[in-house]
Amino acid sequence: MVTGGGGHIGEVVVQALCELGASVAVVDLPGALENVGSEAVSGLGRCVAVPCDLGNAKETRACVGEVLSRLGGLDIIVHSAAFVGTTRFPGWAVGLAEQSPEAWDAAMAVNLRSAFLLVQEARSALASGGRGSVVLLSSIYGMVGPDMRLYEGTGMANPLAYGASKAGLEQLARSLATQLAPHVRVNTVSPGGVERGQPESFQKRYCDRVPLGRMATEEDIKGAIAYLASDLSSYVTGHNLVVDGGWTAW
């Protein structure tokens, strides 16, 4: 299962799992699932679409049963759905003084609560084969605070609930790793900033702070997901794999 599979990173996650031979259920809002099952998205494996509003607790729980019904089992969950800096929601991608509690709650529901609900609902299915793996997509901003000087003059924002929810995912993974062991492993991946046509001034400032001298691409995250989802990491749990070009190494 891949949540947020209709987004930029989600599509790459789906490709990574399909290339490993997995059958994948892509869980996302209906409008984001138009290309699910196409060769460009699914690569080598079977891929099915499961519409779900992950901000709705009832729908989130129900989608686990839908996945089990359609695929016959569930060994891997990759949670990549999230409110991000470009998400359009009133009171979200704005300055600190304008960020609203409604936007905070909506982001926490999708970014953090849905991960908890999915794993809670799927725990027996994940454990049944003895090789379950959960990978939660966090961020460097779950580890460090943003340097707001990068955003000056760009119109971009870094909402407080984004970093708070990503930090929550990392602690959720550590707690789940100890409670679901030994049959289910739980880890996080923390990417750095991904290049998506941001203003040139932002990209230059960002790259100047990265030891590898560039922003990430979705492809940079693919290998990390494949590693943690597969038996290549069979003795790894409760770990946060940082894929940031060295951003947090300074």
Using the predicted structure, report yes or no on whether residue 13 has a pLDDT greater than 90: yes
pLDDT of res. 37 = 58
**pLDDT tens readout for residues 197-237:** 999 999 999 999 999 999 999 999 999 999 999 999 999 99
pLDDT of res. 173 = 98
Asked whether the beta carbons of 169 and 138 are under 8 A apart, the reply is yes
Give the pLDDT band of residue 40 (cuts 50, 70, 90). very low
Arithmetic mean of pLDDT over the chain: 93
pTM for the whole thing? Answer: 0.94
Beta strand residue intervals within 62-154, DSSP E: 76-79, 132-137
Give the pLDDT band of residue 42 (cuts 50, 70, 90). very low
Two tokens, residue 128: 């049944």
Q: Cβ neighbours of residue 136 under 8 Å, at least 6 residues apart?
A: 79, 115, 169, 170, 172, 173, 186, 187, 188, 189
Using the predicted structure, report yes or no on whether residue 35 has a pLDDT greater than 80: no
Give the pLDDT band of residue 53 (cuts 50, 70, 90). very high
pLDDT of res. 34 = 77
* Domains in the chain: boundaries: 2-249
Amino acid at 120: Q
Which of 162, 206, 227, 235 is labelled catalytic? 162
Using the predicted structure, report yes or no on whether residue 39 has a pLDDT greater than 60: no
**DSSP, res 36:** T
* CA dist., res. 236 & res. 224, Å (int): 12
**pLDDT tens readout for residues 140-151:** 999 999 999 999
**DSSP, res 141:** G
User: Is 162 designated active site?
Assistant: yes
The architecture in CATH of the region 2-249 reads: 3-Layer(aba) Sandwich (3.40)
* CA dist., res. 132 & res. 228, Å (int): 11
Using the predicted structure, report yes or no on whether residue 78 has a pLDDT greater than 80: yes
